[in-house]
Structure 1
Amino acid sequence: MDLDLRKLRYFVAVADKLHFGRAADELHIAQPALSRAIRALEQDLGTPLLTRDSHGVALTDAGRQLLTDAGPLLASAHAVRGRVTVAARGGRRLMVGFRAGIAVNPAVRLFNARHPDVIVDVQRIERHDQATMLLDGSVDVGYVRLPIDEAGLRVTPLYTEPTVAVLPAGHRLAGKDQVTEADLAGEPLVWHGDASTQPTRRPHPNAGYLVRGVDETLEHVAAGRGISFLARSATVFYSHPNVSFVPIPDLAPDQVCLAVPASRTSPVVDDFLTAAQETAEITAECGNYEMWLLGSSDVSKG
């Protein structure tokens, strides 16, 4: 049995809205046609996916499982279409995504020395969309930070970097050589949407401020609304006159990885992964973290 991607897309719309009428409006189709497609999908799979009664629409256990699996599958199909389109145009292009503070230039230069015919573009990605942009083909390979939803991805650890506390310039601990997590216990947090990325001693999620990205983090901290935590590379790429970065050695280091869609097979992507791993190894060997981040080392000759 071949899974019909059109029916699957219709099911995801209904599962998201839990309402056939609103899902039909979003899909720009008639509600009876949507209902028939969902029934046909249930027949194809041999199990009910939704329950419908006077209280509304709800997912069955099978429906919840299908919804979990559907996202990566639909994103992969979309990415296939995009890659075929690029191939049909005869172009050789690689899109590299990267999280804030991660320098891609050393790997790009080494890769370009070996593949001068391939155009490499770079695009910054945020924590909340790093997996999505890989799965939907927006980027071919990504420098990501853990944690990340690894479903449908191949994730390779690359290197770790220390964590720093981000404090308002007037904070009692600003300017210290280092602080401990215990020193900051009870402080209000400027935190990211994924609470698992924050230290264990954190306030209730309703405390502090929810932010997206480093720029928002620095502005909220500078305004005295709380403290935060970033990878050390933030101190190289970002600065703010009203913010102080202080090392916090007892926090787990930030893990940087390379990620590609698990279904992707491409010699060009594989060669970029090799270049990225080689430049990371150079960094570890020379121990000059800041110089490597700023792209001062001529790794293309390595």
Structure 2
Amino acid sequence: MDVDLRKLRYFVAVAEELHFGRAAERLFIAQPALSRQVRALEEELGVQLLRRDRRGTALTPAGAQLLEDALPLLAASAAMVRRVTAAATEKPVFTIGFMPGITVTPAVRALKERHASVSVRLVRTSWNDQVEVLSDGRADVSIVRLPVDQNGLTVQPLFTEPRLAVLPADHPLAGKPAVGVVDLADDHLLQDPEAVPEWRDVARELRTGERDDVPPLHSVEEKLELVASGAGICVLPLSTAAFYTRPDVVAVPVDDIGPSRVCLAWIAARRSRLIRDFAEVASALAPAAVR
């Protein structure tokens, strides 16, 4: 059986919104047409994907499984279209994703020396999409900070670097040459605690159940604004903290927090010479001082 990707895309919109009206607005189609397409998909598969009643719309077990499988399939389809379109251009295009604070210029120059005809593009990523840019085809390679989901990827270590606690300038620890993670136990972390397990293990707000949910922060600038306002602290890699300097926050070394591990990642199934060559030059030019 061949599944229609358009119907699959419509189903995913409804499954994510759990509301046909909102999904229809998101897809720019009429709600009755959307309902017909989802019903047709259910008939083709021979299963019920969504349950609708007065309380709203909910996924059935079959629907939950389809959503899990559909997301990477649709991403792979989008990636295929991007790569095929790029291959049709006269000048090859190679796109590199990179996290804030990481300098890619030396590796880009080295790649251009080997492949003068290649047009290199850069995509700035965040914690939320540093792998997603690979799965949906926006980037050929991505310079990532671990941890990431490595399923389906080749991940090549590049270097490690210390992580620093970024505090408001008037914080009691701001003038210290270094601190321990226990010194930060009473502070509010503006990140997912899983990203800093050392802090998670000693944090008072986790022990007492007083921690408020932290909304997703999509940029370093957002984190620094909140730190400067006194809303909490964050932990950043050395290169990122050094790049985003400002007078109202202070970065302090933390003796017992693990380093940030920087790697190069790409889709394991790809067999591109450009990827192979970039991986080679990126490894050779990785910062030796913090490797």
TM-score by length of 1: 0.83
1:171 and 2:171 correspond: yes
* Higher mean displacement: 213-222 or 1-10: 213-222
Give distance in 2, aligned partners of 1:210 and 1:54. 31
1:259 and 2:257 correspond: no
Give distance in 1, aligned partners of 2:170 and 2:98. 32
Partners of 2:161 and 2:260 within 8 A in 1: yes
Q: 2:277: which partner in 1? A: 271
Give distance in 2, aligned partners of 1:106 and 1:220. 33
- 5 Å matches for 1:3-42? 3-42=3-42
Task: Describe the superposition over 1:132-163 as per-residue Cα deviations: whole angstroms up to 9, x where unpaired.
Answer: 32222222211111233445544333322111
Could you say what secondary structure the match of 1:252 adopts?
A: coil
Could you say what secondary structure the match of 2:120 adopts?
A: strand
1:233 to 1:38, Cα distance in 2 relative to 1, 3 A: same
1:228 and 2:230 correspond: no
Task: Describe the superposition over 1:179-207 as per-residue Cα deviations: whole angstroms up to 9, x where unpaired.
Answer: 10001111123x13x44213313435417
- Displacement, 1:92? 0.9
1:238 and 2:236 correspond: no
* Higher mean displacement: 165-174 or 29-38: 29-38
* Higher mean displacement: 176-185 or 148-157: 148-157
- 1:197 is aligned with what amino acid? A
Q: 2:61: which partner in 1? A: 61
1:109 and 2:109 correspond: yes
Partners of 1:208 and 1:226 within 8 A in 2: no
1:262 to 1:47, Cα distance in 2 relative to 1, 3 A: farther
Q: 1:51: which partner in 2? A: 51
Partners of 1:174 and 1:244 within 8 A in 2: yes
Give distance in 2, aligned partners of 1:48 and 1:241. 57
Give distance in 2, aligned partners of 1:127 and 1:42. 35
Give distance in 1, aligned partners of 2:217 and 2:123. 20
1:69 to 1:158, Cα distance in 2 relative to 1, 3 A: farther
- 5 Å matches for 1:79-158? 79-158=79-158
Could you say what secondary structure the match of 2:97 adopts?
A: strand
1:150 to 1:4, Cα distance in 2 relative to 1, 3 A: farther
- 2:260 is aligned with what amino acid? D
Give distance in 2, aligned partners of 1:223 and 1:21. 39
Q: 1:196: which partner in 2? A: 194
1:269 to 1:36, Cα distance in 2 relative to 1, 3 A: same
Matched positions, count: 283
Percent identity, aligned pairs only, is: 50
Task: Describe the superposition over 1:84-118 as per-residue Cα deviations: whole angstroms up to 9, x where unpaired.
Answer: 11221222111111111111122212222211221
Give distance in 2, aligned partners of 1:26 and 1:246. 44
Give the gaps of 5 or more residues in structure 2: none
* Higher mean displacement: 102-111 or 179-188: 102-111
Give the gaps of 5 or more residues in structure 1: 293-302
1:5 to 1:224, Cα distance in 2 relative to 1, 3 A: same
- Displacement, 1:131? 2.6
- Displacement, 1:209? 7.5
Could you say what secondary structure the match of 2:91 adopts?
A: coil
1:13 to 1:218, Cα distance in 2 relative to 1, 3 A: closer
- 2:229 is aligned with what amino acid? A
Q: Which of residues 250, 255, 268 in structure 1 aligns to 2:256?
A: 250
- Displacement, 1:74? 1.0
1:261 to 1:272, Cα distance in 2 relative to 1, 3 A: same
Q: 1:296: which partner in 2? A: none
Partners of 2:24 and 2:31 within 8 A in 1: yes
- Displacement, 1:228? 1.5
Give distance in 1, aligned partners of 2:60 and 2:35. 16
Give distance in 2, aligned partners of 1:65 and 1:151. 18
Give distance in 1, aligned partners of 2:145 and 2:13. 30
Partners of 1:135 and 1:152 within 8 A in 2: no
Give distance in 2, aligned partners of 1:53 and 1:209. 31
Give distance in 1, aligned partners of 2:245 and 2:108. 25
